[in-house]
């Protein structure tokens, strides 16, 4: 992308007025998307973008400047602005920076790069998925299928002399189906994606995704309103890991912990969850949507145990927060693009599988809610309260799945919920998503086995209509 001499000059310029650390992050991104709605290819988008972000750390301060002017003059100017903002009184003369590559994890081999796959092929997959959902019958009123791919080439160099280059390719399919009958409208949604080229289609089938989304939308037309109140909740592994992401993931990001904004601060070494619960953030799982060869500061992605059999053993760090706690970065420094400074973020976050038979967990639940598919969620890390949506839920009575329910939302408190997990299955299921924090979205995956939570607040709409399903708190 740029030669090392120029990069070194830029970093030297950034530290001219003082500062402890300078970094340049350069990104070139080629992306396309195909969007089908109303039974036709409605939009295709193709874009090319490049830009650089320059960061200077001085004491506790961060200054960050980005530009998409990648000329020598443009970058030196950006470095000057960043350096000026971070200037300190005692600017010492420092020796010029020289950049050297360090040992790196194996590069990912992409077999079919997005720019090598013709629109004809992308469109064929999209149309096939659209058709599969529409073939489910007259209840299907609208089908949206989208595929997006991007190829990012990233270069990161810093004043410690490190330089890293990385090629990142992601492909992602989304299907949203609207079903309607007698004025009742319900939707079904499926998404799948990974760090891979178009060879991803050997693992995922857009047609199957479309059928699944359509069948769910139709099934939910007949669902009864969700019950309300406190009750046991079984979360199937198919549901993915939104719960672990919200209930504890965010609270274990070191920036929130250090600012005093996490219920998990000052709890290292303490029991924060039931002994059955082990939580891991693992950037190294090949192909998963949150896979990282390097994070966005050039630290290799790694596997970090956060909660070990219920005991809090680690947080997720980027470079800045690691320095504050005098530990090493765990490779969780991520950013949405060159327009953002890196902050601690999750990658692939999971509750490790246990030993129970998933079927038996349901059979042994006398009454409660089974969650087969989770939607989006949100957490207030300061008090640990979280909420997430149930896209596909069923009532359990006497160990049997009796009826689908719709419109349920689960609210809980992270530490309380983790402590009340009483069953952990031996299966494991993934879901993907875009996680938002501080205005930055990054691709993540979450996973969990089938688990049971003794009691959670289920919010729904069926107050008066189904009093029988109200479960009182002990």
Partner 1 sequence: MSRPLQERLTHIGEMLLDKAHHGGIDAEVFLLHNRELSIEVVEGQVDTLKEAEEIGLGLRVIKGNRLGFAFTSDLSPKALEEVWDAAVSICHYTAPDQYLSLPAGPAEYPSLEVYDPVISQTSIEEKIELARQAEKASRQYDPRITVIERAGYEDSEFHSLILNTRGIRAYAKGNYCGTYVFAVAEEDADAQTGFSISIKQKLADLDPLAVGTEAAHNAVRCLHARRAPSGKVPCIMEPYVATRFLGIIAQMVDAEAVQKGKSLFKGRMGHKVGAECLSLTDDGTYPGGVGSFPFDSEGVPCQRTELIQNGHLVGFLYDTYTANRDRTRSTGNGQRSSFRGLPSVGSTNFMIEPGVLSLNQLMDDITYGFYITEVMGMHTANPISGEFSVGAAGLLIEKGQLTKPVRGVTIAGNIVELLEQVEAVGSDLRFFGSRGAPSLRIRYLSLSGD
Q: Does 474 bind partner 1 (CB under 8 A)?
A: no
Residue with tokens 């301060």: 61
352 versus 435: smaller Cβ distance to partner 1: 435
Which positions from 293 through 332 interact with partner 1, judged by CB under 8 A?
A: none
Among 9, 20, 37, 199, interactor with partner 1 by CB under 8 A:
37
Joined together, the tokens standing for residue 110 give 């992409």
Three-state secondary-structure class, residue 85: helix
Which positions from 63 through 122 interact with partner 1, judged by CB under 8 A?
A: 63-69, 81-82, 85-86, 119-120
Using CA atoms in the order 123, 126, 128, 129, what is the torsion angle rounded to 10 degrees? 180
Which positions from 181 through 220 interact with partner 1, judged by CB under 8 A?
A: 184-187
Joined together, the tokens standing for residue 142 give 């609208």
Joined together, the tokens standing for residue 203 give 């693992």
Among 407, 419, 434, 466, interactor with partner 1 by CB under 8 A:
407
86 versus 451: smaller Cβ distance to partner 1: 86
Q: How many residues belong to the chain?
A: 474
Q: Are 458 and 369 in contact (CB under 8 A)?
A: yes
Beta carbon of residue 163, minimum distance to partner 1 (angstroms, whole number): 23
Residue with tokens 């050997």: 202
157 versus 458: smaller Cβ distance to partner 1: 458
Among 1, 2, 6, 44, interactor with partner 1 by CB under 8 A:
44
Q: Are 191 and 206 in contact (CB under 8 A)?
A: no
Beta carbon of residue 341, minimum distance to partner 1 (angstroms, whole number): 7
For partner 1, which stretch binds (CB under 8 A), given 152-160, 166-174, 225-233, 277-285? Answer: 225-233
Which positions from 325 through 384 interact with partner 1, judged by CB under 8 A?
A: 339, 341, 375-378, 380, 382-383
190 versus 427: smaller Cβ distance to partner 1: 190
Among 125, 170, 250, 406, interactor with partner 1 by CB under 8 A:
406
For partner 1, which stretch binds (CB under 8 A), given 99-107, 296-304, 325-333, 404-412? Answer: 404-412
Nearest to 216 by CA among 200, 241, 238: 238
48 versus 100: smaller Cβ distance to partner 1: 48
Nearest to 58 by CA among 90, 99, 93, 24: 90
Beta carbon of residue 65, minimum distance to partner 1 (angstroms, whole number): 5
Beta carbon of residue 28, minimum distance to partner 1 (angstroms, whole number): 9
18 versus 459: smaller Cβ distance to partner 1: 459
28 versus 357: smaller Cβ distance to partner 1: 28
* d(C-alpha 233, C-alpha 369), whole Å: 5
* d(C-alpha 200, C-alpha 150), whole Å: 13
Beta carbon of residue 288, minimum distance to partner 1 (angstroms, whole number): 23
∠390-462-368 over CA atoms, to 5°? 55
Q: Does 420 bind partner 1 (CB under 8 A)?
A: no
Helices 119-134 + 206-221 axis angle, to 10:
30
∠209-210-214 over CA atoms, to 5°? 120
Beta carbon of residue 106, minimum distance to partner 1 (angstroms, whole number): 31
Query: For partner 1, what does the binding mask look like between residues 257 and 286, x meaning CB under 8 A?
Result: --xxx-x-----------------------
Among 25, 317, 388, 394, interactor with partner 1 by CB under 8 A:
388
Using CA atoms in the order 77, 78, 81, 83, what is the torsion angle rounded to 10 degrees? -100
Q: Are 270 and 311 in contact (CB under 8 A)?
A: yes
43 versus 94: smaller Cβ distance to partner 1: 43
Among 113, 308, 459, 466, interactor with partner 1 by CB under 8 A:
459
Beta carbon of residue 263, minimum distance to partner 1 (angstroms, whole number): 8
259 versus 426: smaller Cβ distance to partner 1: 259
Please give the sequence-ordered ranges of beta strands (E in DSSP) within 245-366, or none if there are none: 279-282, 303-308, 311-312, 333-334, 343-344, 348-351
CA distances from 41 to 44, 56, 110, 146 (A): 8, 45, 27, 10
* d(C-alpha 24, C-alpha 21), whole Å: 10
What is the size of the binding site for partner 1 (CB under 8 A)? 77
99 versus 223: smaller Cβ distance to partner 1: 223
For partner 1, which stretch binds (CB under 8 A), given 2-10, 162-170, 303-311, 451-459? Answer: 451-459
Which positions from 152 through 171 interact with partner 1, judged by CB under 8 A?
A: none
∠306-262-343 over CA atoms, to 5°? 70
Beta-bridged to residue 136, according to DSSP, are none
Which positions from 121 through 140 interact with partner 1, judged by CB under 8 A?
A: 123
């Amino acid at each position: 992308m740029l030669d090392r001499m120029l990069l070194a000059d830029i970093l030297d310029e950034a530290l001219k007025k003082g500062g402890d650390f300078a970094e340049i992050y350069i990104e070139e991104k080629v992306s396309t998307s195909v969007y089908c709605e109303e039974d036709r290819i409605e939009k295709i988008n193709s874009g090319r973008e490049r830009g650089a972000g320059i960061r200077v750390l001085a004491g506790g301060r961060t200054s960050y400047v980005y530009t998409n002017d990648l000329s020598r003059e443009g970058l030196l100017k950006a470095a000057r602005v960043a350096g000026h903002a971070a200037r300190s009184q005692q600017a010492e003369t420092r020796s010029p920076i020289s950049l050297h590559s360090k040992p790196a994890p194996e590069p990912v081999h992409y077999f079919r790069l997005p720019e090598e796959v013709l629109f004809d092929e992308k469109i064929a997959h999209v149309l096939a998925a659209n058709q599969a959902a529409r073939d489910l019958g007259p209840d299907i009123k609208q089908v949206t299928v989208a595929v997006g791919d991007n190829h990012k080439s990233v270069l990161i160099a810093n004043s410690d002399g490190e330089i890293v280059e990385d090629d990142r390719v992601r492909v992602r399919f989304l299907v949203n189906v609207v079903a309607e009958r007698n004025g009742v409208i319900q939707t079904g949604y499926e998404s799948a994606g990974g760090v891979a080229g178009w060879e991803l289609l050997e693992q995922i089938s857009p047609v199957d995704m479309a059928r699944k989304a359509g069948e769910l939308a139709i099934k939910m037309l007949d669902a009864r309103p969700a019950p309300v109140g406190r009750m046991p909740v079984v979360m199937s592994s198919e549901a993915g890991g939104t719960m672990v992401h919200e209930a504890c993931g965010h609270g274990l990001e070191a920036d929130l912990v250090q600012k005093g904004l996490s219920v998990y601060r000052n709890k290292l070494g303490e029991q924060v969850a039931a002994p059955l619960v082990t939580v891991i953030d693992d950037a190294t799982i090949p192909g998963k949507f949150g896979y990282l060869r390097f994070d966005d500061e050039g630290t290799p992605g790694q596997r970090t145990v956060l909660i070990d059999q219920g005991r809090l053993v680690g947080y997720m760090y980027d470079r800045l927060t690691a320095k504050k706690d005098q530990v090493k970065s765990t490779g969780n420094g991520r950013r949405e693009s060159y327009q953002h400074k890196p902050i601690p973020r999750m990658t692939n976050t999971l509750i490790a599988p246990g030993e129970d038979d998933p079927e038996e967990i349901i059979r042994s639940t006398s009454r409660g809610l089974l969650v087969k598919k989770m939607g989006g969620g949100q957490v207030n890390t300061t008090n640990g309260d979280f909420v997430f949506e149930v896209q596909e839920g069923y009532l359990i009575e006497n160990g049997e799945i009796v009826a689908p329910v719709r419109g349920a939302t689960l609210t809980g408190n992270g530490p309380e919920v983790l402590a009340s997990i009483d069953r952990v299955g031996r299966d494991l299921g993934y879901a993907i998503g875009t996680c938002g924090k501080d205005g930055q979205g990054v691709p993540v995956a979450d996973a969990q086995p089938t688990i049971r939570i003794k009691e959670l607040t289920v919010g729904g709409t069926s107050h008066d209509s189904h009093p029988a399903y109200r479960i009182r708190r002990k």
